[in-house]
Structure 1
Amino acid sequence: MNPALGLSVLRRRAAAAAVPRIAAARQARSYATKQPSPVAQFYKTFTRPIGKVLVLAVFTYQVAYWTWTKLEADEHRAEADATIAALESTVNEYKKTKDGKKDMP
């Protein structure tokens, strides 16, 4: 077989195989220059700021909720302590009254 003939056959095969690659590259370039949709552009632009605002809103809500819960617990504890103090004073008065009656006879 003639080496030049074999080389030309290989060149034709390589050229034929390269045509789909070139067409695929041209097709990819046409997609690369396509403008994104307005919805996609909106999300690309505002996703991070909206996410930051949502995270800060949740954080603020949690801080306010924790503060409110703490204040309510403190108020409940103060009311319970006041009730206990009032009951203790009532019990002490009853003890004094009872001790005073025992001493009388």
Structure 2
Amino acid sequence: MTGQSARQSSPWVLLSLLAIDLALTAGCSGKSSTVAAPYSPPGTGSTCYAKALPTVGEGGLAWADTLSMARQKSLDNCIRYAGRSGGTPNTCKVVLAECKP
């Protein structure tokens, strides 16, 4: 007897779980994302950026208020990231540097 009652209540349990899942999913679907785009400037005043790359390993991208600060920060980042990724930090050099108007 218990085998039959368990089989009869199974569809109701599954339907209830499905309804709860759909309700929770529908509640989250209308929310907008607040995640920033990758490599976006950290502040509104940072208009200059620079990218430095080593011959092997990961490079560094940096934003700053002036071009010289961006170049130095990207070079420092390149040295740090190249060392962590098993690259060659002593070969880092700035390959791109510019300021947005």
Same fold per superposition (TM over 0.5): no
TM-score by length of 2: 0.34
Under a length normalisation based on structure 1, what TM-score does the superposition of the two structures give?
Answer: 0.33
The higher-RCO structure (CA 8 Å, 6+ apart) is: 2
Larger Rg: 1
The structure richer in helix per residue is 1
Higher strand share: 2
